[in-house]
Structure 1
Amino acid sequence: METFKDIISGDKPVLVDFHAEWCGPCKAMNPVIAAIGTEVQGKARVLKLDIDRNQAISNQFQVQAVPTFMIFKNGSVIWRHSGMIDKQQLKQRLLSYS
């Protein structure tokens, strides 16, 4: 089974959606994240991470608000955004690192 570290350590960019079940804006972003995941297949990866179930990782990356989006490449954070974001903007940002 792949670990979080395995996933973010690859040479393809990985968009991580730090979210919570109780978060309204997170729920609103769900279809956007799902669509991006489908559209970037093969070029990038998309991962949803529940902050309540993954507190150690959330703390490690100092996630203080949800949703928070981060793009990782080769194990490092190369981009970060807190709050809702337009689908095209997010997709373009992710693909700019592929």
Structure 2
Amino acid sequence: METFNEIISGDKPVLVDFYATWCAPCKAMTPIIDNIASEIDGKARILKIDIDKNQSAAANYKVQAVPTFIIFNKGEIVWRHAGAIDKATLLQQLRYFISK
């Protein structure tokens, strides 16, 4: 099984969704994230991290609000956004790093 660090350091960009089960905007983002996952068709990876179950990861990446979205490319943070976001903007950011 791959570790988080192995996944974010891989060849594909990785969108990480830091969320909480009690967070209404996080719940609203779930179908958007699922839709993006089907649209990118394996060209990038998408991970969902529950901040209550993974407090060390949330602290390590200084997640202070949920949802927080971070795109990693070869282990580096290349984009970050806190709060709900529209599908088009999120998909545009992810596609930019897929094309690199």
TM-score interval (norm. to shorter): over 0.9
Moved runs in structure 1, 4+ residues, more than 4 A?
none
1:60 maps to 60
Question: What residue identity is the alignment partner of 1:76?
Answer: E
Aligned residues: 98
Q: How does 1:33-52 map to 2 (within 5 A)?
A: 33-52=33-52
Alpha-carbon distance in 2 for matches of 1:19, 1:37? 16
Alpha-carbon distance in 2 for matches of 1:39, 1:45? 12
1:92 maps to 92
1:21 maps to 21
The unaligned stretches of length 5 or more in structure 1 are none
Q: Percent identity?
A: 60
- RMSD, matched Cα: 0.7
Question: What residue identity is the alignment partner of 1:60?
Answer: N
Offset at 1:28? 0.3
The unaligned stretches of length 5 or more in structure 2 are none
Structure 2-normalised TM-score? 0.95
Offset at 1:38? 1.2
Alpha-carbon distance in 1 for matches of 2:11, 2:92? 17
Question: What residue identity is the alignment partner of 1:28?
Answer: A
